[in-house]
Amino acid sequence: MLEILTNFFSSTAFSTVGIGDIIMILVACILLYLAIVKGFEPLLLIPIAFGMLLANLPLAGLMNPDSIDLKTGITSPGGLFYYLYQGVKYGIFPPLIFLGVGAMTDFGPLIANPKSLLLGAAAQFGIFFTFFGAIVSGLFTAQEASSIAIIGGADGPTAIFLTSRLAPHLLGPIAVAAYSYMALVPIIQPPIMKLLTTKEERGIKMEQLRAVSKKEKILFPIAVTIVVSFIVPPAASLVGMLMLGNLIRESGVTARLEDTAKNALINMVTIVLGLSVGATANVTTFLNVKTLAIIALGVVAFGVGTASGIILAKIMNNLSKTPINPLIGSAGVSAVPMAARVSQSVGQKENPSNFLLMHAMGPNVAGVIGSAVAAGVLLAMYS
């Protein structure tokens, strides 16, 4: 009986569990708490955290690759997450997420006010500022620094896409940092916005945007795809799928495809993307000095991106004949539509009759394009 019990115990995970496994399981549970109780990006943080939990269970082998018995030549299949991860490794899942995002996005505010594109571009300064900061720290290679810096774009799928190409070993901590900071937009941005603007600037009322024709909305995704793909070819998969989703939306003749892209498809891909990304986080890659540095540099990237957009908006306001509320510059980070809502909220506190949401959506959707272009630039330079 004792031998039977001993053999049973040795077959359980209790016989091999280590302190690292326990710590990672606790980290996964903390992330689940933040997602469920605190509402931190639950749509992706729950799959990421649960993938982390499952992958760090001893003996489960969910991330084990295929193995071949050299004596018999028999191939043993790998774990479930090993196969799901191939969609991340080969850059399949993030562009599919962009397809769904494009189907849900209205580029009308950007088309109505093309100057918004400059604000979206300015917010990407946080990416390049943080890139040099990561290099100077001496902790990271250029490829790792690129992957960390893209957190400043506040675009989770782009961060995952670039990291899977340049620094896949950092995928877990970078994905967690990116989505955590996206969830913290309403907390991180307002202090920066108030620090860099005066009460009078925050209360500026902007003129109503012009109406955008259906023809413009149809031509826009086609033109953007061609122009961006010629200038930054590595960004073609992200920008192309984003614009395809938007063309499906705006064409008016593909209602079924639009519904699938912005509902069933994006929801399915979100689940498998989150699980496979979370499964890459283990004690070796997650619990180290680099992870702490990634978290610190991520918030710097996000803060600098927010500040850059506001500063450019202030300059544009001083040079423009029509008033521009500098608060919309903070929406240049691509956390859609949360960053635009924060601009609206802060502006309305100063002037209850102020409605900045649609004006802020211009820089906000421009930031989605900008972060994808920035990722393409970094990929072209360091792949």
- Rounded to two decimals, the pTM is 0.90
Which pLDDT tens digit goes with each residue over 306-331? 999 999 999 999 998 899 999 999 99
* pLDDT tens, position by position, 113-160: 999 999 999 989 999 999 999 999 999 999 999 999 998 887 889 999
Question: 231 Cβ partners below 8 Å, 6+ apart?
Answer: 373
9: pLDDT strictly greater than 70: no
Cβ neighbourhood burial of 383 (10 Å; 0-12, 13-18, 19+): exposed
Rounded CA gap, 365 and 357, in Å?
A: 12
Quickly state the pLDDT bin for 288 (edges 50, 70, 90).
confident
DSSP tag of 233:
G
| The amino acid at 335 | A
**For residue 96, how many C-alpha atoms fall within 13 Å in the half-sphere facing its CB?**
18
The per-residue pLDDT for range 16-38, each reduced to its tens digit, is 778 888 999 999 999 999 999 98
Structure-model confidence comparison of residues 311 and 336, the more confident one: 311
Confidence at 15, pLDDT banded by 50, 70, 90:
low
d(CA 268, CA 277): 14
Find all residues with CB under 8 Å of 257, minimum gap 6, and list them: 248
pLDDT of residue 370: 93
